[in-house]
Amino acid sequence: MAPTIVVEKDGLLPSSMPYTSSPRGGMSSLRATVYIAITLVCASTALWSLCPQHYWGEPVVATNLCAQASAVNPVKHAELWSSLDGIYATETFASRAIEWLGGAIRVPTESFDNMAPVGEDPRWEAFGPFHDYLLKAFPQVHATLALTKVNTYGLVFEWKGSDESLKPLLLMGHQDVVPVNPDTVSEWTHPPFSGHFDGKLLWGRGSSDDKNGLVGILSTVETLIESGFKPTRGIVLSFGFDEEASGPQGAAHLAEYLQEKYGKNAFALLVDEGGDYMIEHGKVFATPGIAEKGYIDVRIDVESPGGHSSVPPSHTTIGLLSALLVHIESNPYTPKLNRGTPMYMKSQCLAAHAPKLPSDLRKALLAAEKSDTALRAAEKILFEDRMFKALVGTTQAIDLISGGVKTNALPESAWAIVNHRIATDSSLTETKEHDIHTLKTLAAKFNLSYSAFGEDITDSSSHAYGKLTLSDAFHAGLQPAPITPLDAAAYQLVSGTIKATYDAHRGGDEVIVSPGIMSGNTDTRYYWDLTPHIFRYNHHYTGNDSLFKDIHTVNEYIEVDAYIEMIKFFTLLILNADESTDL
């Protein structure tokens, strides 16, 4: 086990060093030199196991890891912010905010996979009443900002700033929600589209994903207009309507419109739905997503001769497909924690700032920057957390399957779809190659001709018993997103705004801002060319629980106190960005 490195005034010292006076006292320069040398050798060679391992108390963690921005509060707009902060604390505003979001929840806006284009599929018409609701709920937004509807239901609100030389701020959200399974309606504590408020929680589909974000942004802008705010830096709001179905009708068209009007790299920064903040290892961590995993749905088709079920072969087509799927699950991708990735950065923040992080994990992480042995040791411990492991590596989930039409007929075909979320340091090509290689042996075993993604993998001989085909299920896959730079003013501004919001709403112990990633993909997949400064974050407090505990399932809800804090975050972000001269 690697020695813990501590930071003292005199430099880097191993915590296992025998001090001359007390565990926090000084030591001779000779001893310090010797132990620094030992530490460096241990951390970079296989001699780690021979190094000093005695641990004295809590270490003073390496503060050069996961450096924190200072809280950013408005200066020019200080008086306005003080006034708004007071307004947000009132019961009157809370009632207003509850009605804004509750009313939005009460208008069902479900989007489904594989919907036909707008104008052909009548299910899109559900968004018309939602637009009517927004017009009624936010009259000042509609009277003050220019509204453009893109592909009928995509919404772009533009609030022109007084200084057109400043790149505008881009805020995003989506209007649609995941469909409610009719079989689960009875399991909801309150009906899924009731927008019911029980005195603390607001219930319903979209309360946590993502009508809270969309309505939170509009609530902020409505209140700013009412307070007399006029922006110096322009503000653009972009709201898609099929994010839950990957955004081809909504965000894809919205991004094209914005790029045509504003050009590439035209926005100072972009904030969309995403990470939350919660308590981890005794410390509050906020995790804005600075990257997203890639994505691909791989369809596996198996074909073989049909016939009467009374004379079956050794394996029916469904049996062949089942064997292939079992083999896939038996050969998952091997996740690996690599330096420079967002989740490695997150682990370094835990090492630097989490007081209750296990000491063996902290020791390994502090040595991991130079030692591969330490990195693998840290990885082993971190991967005991299923969520952390999933965020690091490429995942696979068999989500759809179909085959057969009648009990007395052998199925000529069967298919399944495997959903992949591709690691930030991997690629579409690596993912496809893994799937191709995984099934190659079984294709030969069952005498199946084999093609994948338009190319023949094995000889498509007529003597083959059947056929195995891999293909993109619905659309071409998505590469992992570019990583938002951390050494830029935009990251400092967002981090500082998170800290200022937390302090204004909760006070007490500070929040640590750590880079992170989204496990899924947001509409930002279409916006990469508009700005390199993309943040997936909605300032949603979840305590000790994950944000994912109630979204896309029964009993979705949000705490109203957390929702009002989100409004404070958007308010501070707009005011801080308006004052910034560094963006």
Its domain, for residue 163, covers 78-273+539-579
pLDDT digits (tens, 9 = 90+) for 309-334: 999 999 999 999 999 999 999 999 99
Residues 351 and 316 in one domain: no
Q: Are residues 55 and 87 in the same domain?
A: no
Averaged over 202-220, what is the pLDDT?
Answer: 97
Q: Would you state the pLDDT for residue 72?
A: 97
CATH code of 110's domain: 3.40.630.10
pLDDT single digits (tens) 361-401: 999 999 999 999 999 999 999 999 999 999 999 999 999 99
Give the confidence band of 545 by pLDDT, cuts at 50, 70, 90: low
362 plus 435 within the same structural domain: no
pLDDT of residue 518: 84
Which pair of structure tokens corresponds to residue 372?
């591969």
Q: For residue 489, tell me if it sits in a domain.
A: no
Say if 509 falls within a structural domain.
no
Same domain? For 113 and 196 the reply is yes
Among 320, 322, 214, CA closest to 558:
214
**What is the distance between the alpha carbons of residues 516 and 386, in angstroms, rounded to a whole number?**
16
32 and 152 within one domain:
no
3-state secondary structure of 222: helix
Residues 376 and 421 in one domain: no
Poorest-pLDDT segment among 24-38, 246-260, 407-421, 485-499: 24-38
What's the number of domains the chain is made of?
Answer: 3
DSSP 480-547: PPPPPPSSSHHHHHHHHHHHHHHHHHT-SSPPEE--EEESS--GGGG-TTT-S-EEEEEEEE-TTS-G
- For 208: left if phi > 0, alpha if psi spans -120 to 50, otherwise beta; the answer is alpha
Q: Tell me, what's the pLDDT at 553?
A: 87
114 and 201, same domain (yes or no): yes
- Examine the pLDDT at 11 and tell me if it is beyond 70: no
pLDDT greater than 80 at residue 56: no
Q: What is the pLDDT of residue 552?
A: 79
Residues 313 and 180 in one domain: no
Residue type, 468: L
pLDDT at 476 over 80: yes
Peptide bond into 210 cis (omega under 30): yes
121 is in an annotated binding site: no
- My answer on whether 376 and 425 are in the same domain is no
Residue 307 pLDDT > 90, yes or no?
A: yes
Q: What is the pLDDT of residue 113?
A: 86
pLDDT digits (tens, 9 = 90+) for 150-186: 999 999 999 999 999 999 999 999 999 999 999 999 9
Catalytic positions? 176, 243
Question: What confidence score (pLDDT) does residue 24 get?
Answer: 34
Cβ neighbours of residue 573 closer than 8 Å, sequence gap 6 or more: 169, 171, 271, 493, 494, 497
Residues 520 and 258 sit within 8 Å (Cβ to Cβ): no
Could you tell me if 416 and 300 are in contact, meaning their C-beta atoms sit under 8 angstroms apart? yes
Residue 299 has pLDDT above 80, yes or no: yes
Closest of 159, 279, 287 to residue 231, by C-alpha: 159
CA angle 171, 174, 178 (to 5 degrees): 155
97 lies in the same domain as 194:
yes
- The annotation status of 244 as a binding-site residue, yes or no, is yes
- Residue 120 assigned to a binding site: no
Interval 15-35 mean pLDDT: 38
Question: Is-contact 210 273, C-beta < 8 A?
Answer: yes
Rounded percentage of the chain residues whose pLDDT exceeds 90: 83
Any domain includes 305: yes
> Is 65 contained in some domain?
no
Q: What is the structure's pLDDT at 546? A: 53
What is the pTM assigned to this prediction? 0.87
On whether residue 247 sits in a domain, the answer given is yes
Query: Is position 507 within any domain?
Result: no
Nearest to 142 by CA among 159, 129, 166: 159
Out of 450, 472, 494, pick the residue that ends a domain: 472
Q: According to the annotation, is 174 in a ligand binding site? A: yes
Q: How far apart are CA 8 and CA 18, in angstroms?
A: 14
Residue 528: predicted pLDDT: 98
Decide if pLDDT at 255 tops 60: yes
Which pLDDT score, from 0 to 100, does residue 544 have? 66
Distance CA 434, CA 556 (A): 36
Q: Which of 448, 472, 496 is the last residue of a domain?
A: 472
Q: Are residues 169 and 119 in the same domain?
A: yes
The mean pLDDT of the chain is 89
Residue 485 included in any domain: no
Strand ranges, E, within 241-293: 269-280, 283-286, 289-292
pLDDT > 50? residue 32 = no
What is the CATH classification number for the domain harbouring 317?
A: 3.30.70.360
**405: phi > 0 → left, psi -120 to 50 → alpha, else beta; which?**
alpha
Among residues 423, 455, 472, the one where a domain terminates is 472
User: Higher-confidence residue: 328 or 3?
Assistant: 328
Residue 12 pLDDT:
32
**Residues facing residue 517 across a β-bridge:** 291
Asked whether residue 219 is assigned to any structural domain, the reply reads yes
Q: What is the pLDDT of residue 460?
A: 66
Question: 400 with 379, same domain?
Answer: no
More confident residue, 102 or 550: 102
333: three-class secondary structure by DSSP? coil
Q: Say if residue 213's pLDDT is above 80.
A: yes
